[in-house]
């Protein structure tokens, strides 16, 4: 069996494949919050295209997006913050005013 570079274990929940056990666990927590009415419109792996001066620089794919009474929440489950991730996070937050990415351990 090939080991993952960051030792994550692919996990399936509700027929959905997640990159790690932590991501699958967070999904289950968010589903409970959605059923309780504390969050709405849970979305998995929403994409954000980052454009600078008319040029597409990259696409960032977060783990989750949902809405609360304070607005849109973007979450990313992170065990390891790579330099590419850090750059893309900054780009998304610069290109999408009001968007703040929350990192979940």
Q: Answer yes or no: is 5 within a domain.
A: no
What is the pTM assigned to this prediction? 0.83
Residue 61 structural domain: 11-104
- Looking up residue 60, the CATH number of its domain turns out to be 3.40.1350.10
9-23 pLDDT, tens digit each: 788 888 889 988 999
Q: Answer yes or no: is 1 within a domain.
A: no
Q: Answer yes or no: is 53 within a domain.
A: yes
The greatest distance separating any two alpha carbons of the chain, rounded to the nearest whole angstrom, comes to 45
Quote the number of domains for the chain. 1
CA nearest to 19, candidates 50, 53, 44, 56: 44
Q: Answer yes or no: is 71 within a domain.
A: yes
pLDDT, position 61: 96
Low-confidence ranges of the chain (pLDDT < 70): 1-7
């Amino acid at each position: 069996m090939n080991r993952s570079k960051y030792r994550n274990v692919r996990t399936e929940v509700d027929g959905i494949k997640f990159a790690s056990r932590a991501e699958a666990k967070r999904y289950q927590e968010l589903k409970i919050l959605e059923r309780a009415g504390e969050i709405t419109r849970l979305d998995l792996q929403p994409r954000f295209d980052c454009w600078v001066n008319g040029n597409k620089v990259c696409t960032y794919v977060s783990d989750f997006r949902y809405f609360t009474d304070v607005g849109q929440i973007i979450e990313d489950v992170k065990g390891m913050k790579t330099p590419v991730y850090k750059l893309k996070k900054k780009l998304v937050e610069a290109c999408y005013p009001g968007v703040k990415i929350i990192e979940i351990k």
